[in-house]
Amino acid sequence: MKNIFKSILTVALFAGLSSCEEESNLAYIQPEANASFRIITPTTGEGVILSATALNNPAISLTWDQAQYTTPASVTYTVQLAPNGSDFSNAQDISTTTNRNVTITAGQLNVPALTAGAVPFVSTPLDFRIKATVAGQVPLYSNKITYNVTAFGCLGQFAVGAGIPSAGWGWNTPANLICDNNVLTMRVGLINDTFRFFTQSGNWGSGRNYPYYSGLGYKIVSVLENANDNDSNFKFMGTPGTYRVKIDENTKTIGVAKSTVTTGIEPASFWLVGAATPGDWSWDGNKETELPNVSNNIYEVPVRLTNNNTFRVWEVNNGTDNNWASTNRNFPWYVSNGYTIDSELINAADNDSNFRYVGPTGVRLFKINTTTKVISVD
């Protein structure tokens, strides 16, 4: 009986020692930064400006040490990109090689950089590391570096929330914002409730709320307010209906427009034309500035106005480049109809008695309320 007990004890001890030895070997290849496996170039703090006209230009050239394994092996290296300060749990694999160096072009890096949170045309810190893999082994990871990337363009985005009934607070049917030349647009039904924008479908952590945009200096139409709830969502305060929502990343503006047609000129809108507006005195192409209906009898647009220049309001747009004869309103027309006009707008006293903008050059909220008969610039 004693011999049997000794045998069992011996087996248990041997198994314990064997287990410890295996754990010791495994610890050598755990997924942690290997002290001798480091990125050599570039160094943290360097950066690049990407350009749509130079897609084949080098964006980042990485070199690194050899990953050390207990036995010689064929190692595959993968360059990983992640949002700055993250744990790489949502890292993107952007290049794979068996060498210990790689050059990634602007065309290869731009979309992954935007996906990782790069703000278009703004230098944004992003994190890079190298993953080393050997068949049948646990991956090894290098140190990480932070590289500043100025990306171009934009990705399509998403919006969900109770304020968008077709979407709600879920990911089954999110509203899609389509990107074109750094302008994001969607056409959705809005009610007086909350919603938020997201850069990734299904990822709650990718949300961009009201303070995100206001903190970047965006001018936001007044019918979209900070809900001041736990997530500081957007809240739509206008008349419920179908609207076009536009996030213009070039001018840093967010606007809404009553939508009654799916294509062509919007008859529910007014239009601004003149040297004080971005399109000057021209109807060519889309140079006129839409002054949309953002709620019943309220017309408002965030627009860059130029000091000491003039403009006029058109109530009709015939969709041609020769729209001068369409119904339009000058400064005296609004005065004679009982409107109170902001002090930053005066009678130009020119041949057409246009409006003259005398405020500072910059993006302003221009609004005409046809119910209260007030024209304001905020």
Instruction: Give the model confidence (pLDDT) of 311-328 as tens digits.
Output: 999 999 988 888 999 999
Every domain range in the chain assigned CATH 2.60.40.10: 39-150
| Encoded amino acid at 290, one letter | E
* Topology, domain 39-150: Immunoglobulin-like (2.60.40)
Q: Determine which of 120-124, 158-162, 220-224 has the lowest per-residue pLDDT on average.
A: 120-124
Between these two residues, 335 and 29, which has the higher pLDDT value?
Answer: 335
For residues 100-116, average pLDDT:
95
Answer whether residue 264 shows pLDDT above 90: no
Tokens standing for residue 213: 């945009």
Count the Cβ atoms, other than its own, within 10 Å of residue 336. Answer: 8
- The winner for highest mean pLDDT among 129-138, 305-314, 315-324 is 305-314
Report pLDDT for 68. Answer: 84
Q: Determine which of 255-264, 346-355, 367-376 has the lowest per-residue pLDDT on average.
A: 255-264
Could you tell me the pLDDT band of residue 181, with boundaries at 50, 70 and 90? Answer: confident
Q: By percentage, how much of the chain surpasses pLDDT 70?
A: 90
SS3 270: strand
70's torsion region: left (phi>0), alpha (psi -120 to 50) or beta? alpha
Q: What is the pLDDT of the chain when averaged over all its residues?
A: 90
Q: For residue 175, with 0-12 CB atoms within 10 Å meaning exposed, 13-18 middle and 19 or more buried, which class applies? A: buried
Report pLDDT for 138. Answer: 85
Tens digits of residue pLDDT in 216-237 = 999 999 999 999 999 999 999 9
Report pLDDT for 7. Answer: 41
Every domain range in the chain assigned CATH 2.60.40.3620: 154-259, 265-378
Asked whether the whole model's pTM tops 0.75, one would answer no
Answer whether residue 17 shows pLDDT above 80: no
Between these two residues, 9 and 199, which has the higher pLDDT value?
Answer: 199
The CATH-assigned architecture of domain 265-378 is Sandwich (2.60)
| Encoded amino acid at 352, one letter | D
Q: How far is CA 125 from CA 26, 114, 149, in A?
A: 34, 11, 6
Could you tell me the pLDDT band of residue 11, with boundaries at 50, 70 and 90? Answer: very low
Half-sphere exposure of 74 (CA within 13 A, CB side): 3
Q: Output the CA angle 347-350-356, nearest 5 degrees.
A: 40
Answer whether residue 131 shows pLDDT above 70: yes
Nearest Cα to Cα of residue 80 among 150, 120, 131: 131
What is the C-alpha separation between 295 and 277, in angstroms, rounded? 23
Answer whether residue 22 shows pLDDT above 50: no
> 154-259 maps to which CATH number?
2.60.40.3620
Report pLDDT for 72. Answer: 64
- The winner for highest mean pLDDT among 16-25, 31-40, 88-97, 114-123 is 88-97
